Structure 1
Amino acid sequence: MSTPAPVRPAAGPAAPAAEAPAQQQGRMTHRQILSALSGMLLAMFVAILSSTVVSNALPTIITDLRGSQSQYTWVVTATLLASTASTPIWGKLADLFSKKLLLQISIVVFIVGSMLAGLSQSVPTLIGWRALQGLGLGGLTALVQIAMAAMISPRERGRYSGLLGGVFAIGTVAGPLIGGLLVDTSWLGWRWCFYVGVPFAVVALVLLQRTLQLPVVKRSVSIDYLGAAFLTAGVSALLIWVSLAGHQFDWASLETVLFVAGGVLAIVAFVVTELRAKEPIVPLRLFRDRTTTLAIVASMVIGVALFGSTVFLGQYLQISRGYSPTAAGLLTLPMIGGLVASSTVSGILISRYGRWKAFLVVGSVLVAVGFGLLSTIDHTTDMLLLGVFLAVLGVGIGLTNQNLVLAVQNTVAARDLGAASSAVAFFRSLGGTIGVSVLGAVLSARVGTLIQGGLADVPGAAAAAGSADVGLASLADAPAPLQELIRVSYGDATGRIFAVAAVLSLITIVAIAFIREVALRTESGDERMQDSTEGSTAAVDAELAGASARSRA
């Protein structure tokens, strides 16, 4: 009589308490994802709100502080430059440290920069604190995209990218309106444009602490500080040259040679450093992939669309057309409406059908068409017609902005997800930074020419108003006839900067046309990372087993 075999406990769900949280397994329900996104979306709203509030209030700020056109540009450029230079660093840190902690740090940096900017008593001081604001903005821009990629698969990300696009649109709409109300309210004033986002930021910190739980990578850390320094130095030198040439010194001058040569040498040193660095800020291997390279090229031009249109459109509406900041914000609603509608609808359709390239192609064409239409505006353009032009541009931006990031995240390896996402954000910010600087220089030169032409019959007046800097700085104190000339000159010159942007947009169309569409993955970034880790472990185990068998033989 045989003895029964001992009964072993079932191997089913024996100890649910030992199972890691869903967020740390890369598997989350729709409700868990929405909960985790709440803090991140609010943080992004804070960044967008603070940026758009300031851009619409800038004409009043610069006039109040007696600033110039080049300083007007640098109040925007300083934030974009700091954001651009820091974005790859935040992205690399996200591959090494807690994404949640980094998000919280970036919010705190952004709050401190905003508060100090509100205390500024001069334009140079304001520019300095705006740069600190940009460091936090760079973290928010990169880390929200990276955290979303870690939690959500590319196939499902479209529906949540629509939420991100909606938050972007709401922040862009609310910013100019709130900024206009603050500037137009005598007992508050423009300084509150920098304070208004602080309460939202505090709530975002609390939400992130409660809802966001992502796995922390624990491995040896090597940060490429030298590469970051060369990158910042190279970009800064070239942007300072573009901003100052033609005003502080001639285009063909020793200063131009020094700035250009120094900038180019720093960028070359950056590339050499990245080739040798253990943990490069921007891994150059990313550019071996065609989709990543072409998406980055397209993103640079989209950066011009995002930042150039908002910065100079607000200036056009307030300085040339005489609208209040509140009214100027309302007049940009067609662009925002087009952006939120196209980003939301495209996100839903991409998640449903898994196809994304057609949206990018249509969006890039609409961006070029929108800029082409805006290139026709002057100081007499009908506002209804302007609204149609802005709606076309908004739809184009909505179809391309988030979907370019999605295309890259779907292509790169899981270990490069943070670096690749931040690389796209970096080059988009770089495009915006270069765009604001170059378009600002174009606008400044054109306004100066128009002012000189308008004053040609007044002896000595043309020489006194020989630059757009003098024109903008003198706007508040100039006599009525000169004020009218300055306003007309700004209105007639604005079309030229949009014409330049339209030509640049053709590059986006060509780049997107050559992107190869790849089916969207169904695994989240964390799942892919776990699969690759398990695969590597299995390979090592197999190798060790083989070595052991050979030694016994």
Structure 2
Amino acid sequence: MTDFLKQRRGEKQPGTTTPDETDAPPSRLVILGLLLGIVLATLDGTVVGTALPTIVGDLGGLDQLSWVLTAYLLTMAVSTPIWGKLGDLYGRKGSYLASIAVFLVGSVLCGLAQDMGQLIAFRALQGLGAGGLFVGALSLIGTLLAPAEAGRAQSLIGVLLPAATIGGPLVGGFLTDQWDWRWVFYVNVPVGVLALALIGFGVRLRGERVKARIDLAGAGLLTGAILALTLLASWAGTTYAWTSPQIIGLGLVFVAALAAFVRVERSAPEPVIPPRLFRDRNFTVAQVLSFVTGAAMLAAASYLPQYMQFVQDMSSTESGLLLIPLMLGMIGAQLAIGRRVSDGGPYRHYPIAGGALATVGALALLTLRTDTTAALASGLSFVLGVGIGCLMQPTMLITMNSTEPRDMGAASGTQTLLRTIGGSLGVAVLGSVYTNRLAAGVTDRLGADGQRLTGGELTPALLRDLPGPVQDAFRAGVVDGLHGVALGTAVLCAVTFAVSWLIREVPLRGRNSS
């Protein structure tokens, strides 16, 4: 407790070096500024999806469509741990403000793009800045608040993640329909400027500049590993078969780069991801949970709307309504957990319960049929949402509580990176399961005609013009594909249930416990 009080007064403890120290707790406006950065980073990863058909109609380049999303996610994933380490070494406030500035420049340029090549390049720049938004907010919260005090702030972060992830397509569709697709990017500017002002004028940190160099070799190897893994996740099962030389080659590059990265990090004076973080069992368990939970959440959010559009015959905006119970389940669980933990309650049992609930919720999706009502289909996702919420909130809390102040940025970056990679792989692998089961089901029912049907770009609008028996066969195939995704999600959630038992109830820093 004495050490914690020294931290809060700004006194350095022997043997520690921290670039940022604070004397006063942050105001609510400062917390708002941090949360706005998280909204920007998360929302922009999903808000573009519903605008893509309009963008292609305006700019052309249909064959480059997927890179509008991939370029953003790739540079965001690559830059996340680097931004975190920059903050640890040279100051978290400055690093966070710089990432917002880069993000806003990229957003404006995206809105001004005149062809698909420009848009992809500017999306990569935007993602480069986005990599520092989430990790910057988390590391600043870790600097300004002790873990025992940060529970409610973290619960708000947990609310924003599902809200922005699921609400992104709805916001993108509204902006595109009511104004213009370019406003999907321009809308970031006033929000980002507000965040810059709140953090720039509201955060007061006494900094100590650290004389150290960024681990360029580690950063390069990590970039190569993430690039290979992102391309693998984007191309496997779609552009190339899983057993193709291209996908196998990317897998080998990923493994080789990752092995070299681990070897370099062990000897680097200031590693991008310090190996010492993983000496704490709770930290390691939290990162495994972040990876697997990210995969389960994004897989469910990506393929449940397919069921509503093709089987329930809803529009893309209406299909997003299916995810409201999923979102409410996540939000409610995280708010409740944040309040209970802040009031002194234990946290170990939440991820255990969350893993069990999420597994049950994923298995409940196996009851969906072609004649299931939209209301029931929507309601079934609530249990899965509650389970995922019980997993997400404790992992952030455990990560901060298991990390020394000097490594707060690197720890936050590691967690964000693993959740992002987990989501990308989850969508890719379960997307392949969905596509294969859909194709097999339709082909079994329609023969060669079904194979041609699933090989094209069939939209819900085109499906309505097909004969009744063909519609029925395709809708049954969509249900088969969704069942495959549900089973895969259940397996992922069962893994979280098993891993969660390894968590130890360690008192939170800042909480007086005997």
The alpha carbon displacement at 1:222 in A equals 1.3
Describe the superposition over 1:106-137 as per-residue Cα deviations: whole angstroms up to 9, x where unpaired: 22222233344445677676555443332222
SS in 1 for 2:343: helix
Gaps of 5+ in 1: 1-18, 525-553
Equivalent residue number for residue 204 of structure 1 = 195
SS of 1:280's partner is coil
TM-score, structure 2 normalization: 0.85
In structure 2, distance between residues paired with 1:119 and 1:374: 42
Residue identity opposite 2:168 in structure 1:
G
1:90 and 2:77 correspond: no
Identical aligned residues as a percent: 37
Note closer, same or farther for the CA distance 1:447–1:126 as it changes in structure 2 (3 Å cut). farther
TM alignment of 1:231-270, pairs within 5 A:
231-270=222-261
1:218 aligned counterpart, secondary structure: coil
Aligned to 2:336: 345
Match of 1:471 in 2: 457
Shift of 1:453: 4.0
Determine the structure 2 residue equivalent to 1:271: 262
Query: Comparing 383-392 with 339-348, which one deviates more in the overlay?
Result: 383-392
Residue 317 to residue 180, structure 1, CA distance change in 2 (3 Å): farther
Task: Give, as a single letter, the amino acid of the residue that structure 2 aligns with 1:504.
Answer: L
The match for 2:465 among 465, 477, 480 is: 480
Match of 2:294 in 1: 303
The structural deviation recorded for 1:225 is 1.9
CA distance in 2, matches of 1:124, 1:479: 34
The alpha carbon displacement at 1:471 in A equals 2.8
Which of 389, 394, 400 is the equivalent residue of 1:398? 389
Q: Tell me, yes or no, if structure 1 residue 227 matches structure 2 residue 218.
A: yes
Separation in 2, partners of 1:516, 1:20: 29
Match 2:31 to one of 27, 37, 40: 37
Q: Could you say if the C-alpha distance between residues 118 and 487 of structure 1 is closer, same or farther in structure 2, counting changes exceeding 3 Å?
A: farther
| Larger displacement relative to structure 2 (362-371 or 74-83) | 74-83
State the match for 1:194 in structure 2. 185
Partner secondary structure for residue 206 of structure 2: coil
Quick one: structure 1 residues 115 and 377, their matched pair in 2 at CA, closer, same or farther if it must change by over 3 Å? Answer: farther
Equivalent residues of 1:286, 1:412 under 8 A apart: yes
Q: Post-superposition shift, 1:146?
A: 0.6
Task: Confirm whether residue 49 of structure 1 aligns to residue 43 of structure 2.
Answer: yes
CA contact (8 A) 1:141 1:425 kept: yes
Does the 8 A contact of 2:77 with 2:226 survive in 1? Answer: no
Following the alignment from structure 1 to structure 2, what is the Cα–Cα distance between the partners of residues 388 and 479?
A: 26
The one-letter code of the counterpart of 2:465 is A
Q: After TM superposition, list the pairs within 5 Å mapping 1:130-149 onto structure 2.
A: 130-149=123-142
Conserved 8 A contact 2:92-2:140:
yes
Maintained 8 Å contact 2:20/2:91: no
The alignment status of 1:28 with 2:14, answered yes or no, reads no
SS of the residue 1:203 aligns to: helix
> Aligned AA for 2:485?
I
Aligned with residue 500 of structure 1, among 462, 479, 488 = 488
Separation in 1, partners of 2:480, 2:111: 32
Of stretches 397-406 and 444-453 in structure 1, the one that deviates more from structure 2 is 444-453
Matched with 1:108 is 101
Range 98-107 or range 275-284, more displaced: 98-107
CA positional deviation for 1:231: 1.5
Q: Distance in 1 between matches of 2:384 and 2:464?
A: 37
Q: Does 1:150 align with 2:143?
A: yes
CA gap 1:448/1:125 in 2 versus in 1, 3 angstroms: farther
| Equivalent position of 1:13 in the other structure | none
User: Number of residue pairs matched?
Assistant: 493
Look up the equivalent residue of 1:471 and give its one-letter code.
Answer: E
Q: Residues 481 and 184 from structure 1, CA distance in 2 versus in 1: closer, same or farther, beyond 3 angstroms?
A: same
Select the structure of larger CA radius of gyration: 1
| Partner Cα separation in structure 1 for residue 51 and residue 475 of structure 2 | 17
Q: Deviations over 1:267-302 (max 9, x none)?
A: 111111111211111111211211111111111011
Q: CA RMSD in A?
A: 3.3
8 A Cα contact 1:99 1:216, kept in partner = no
CA contact (8 A) 2:20 2:92 kept: no
The yes-or-no answer on 1:175 pairing with 2:168 is yes
Counterpart for residue 324 of structure 1: 315
Give the counterpart letter for 2:292 in structure 1: V
Distance in 1 separating the partners of 2:114 and 2:152: 44
Q: Offset at 1:410?
A: 1.0
Gaps of 5+ in 2: 1-8, 12-18
Aligned to 1:437: 428
Q: Which amino acid aligns with 1:295?
A: A
Q: Is the 8 A contact 1:294 1:515 kept in 2?
A: yes
**For 1:319-398, what aligned pairs fall within 5 Å after superposition?**
319-398=310-389
Query: Are the aligned partners of 1:80 and 1:432 in contact in 2 as well (CA < 8 Å)?
Result: no
Matched-pair contact (CA < 8 Å) for 1:46–1:197: yes
CA distance in 2, matches of 1:442, 1:311: 13
TM superposition shift of 1:386: 2.2
1:251-277 Cα offsets, whole Å, 9 max, x none, are 434334422222211111111111121
Question: After alignment, is 306-315 or 220-229 more displaced?
Answer: 306-315
- After superposition, the Cα gap between the structure-2 partners of 1:192 and 1:139, relative to the gap in structure 1 and judged at 3 Å, is same
Q: Partners of 1:487 and 1:111 in 2: how far apart?
A: 42
Offset, 1:491: 4.7
Task: Look up the SS of the partner of 1:156 in the other structure.
Answer: coil
Q: Distance in 1 between matches of 2:118 and 2:414?
A: 30
Q: 1:217 aligns with which of 208, 214, 221?
A: 208
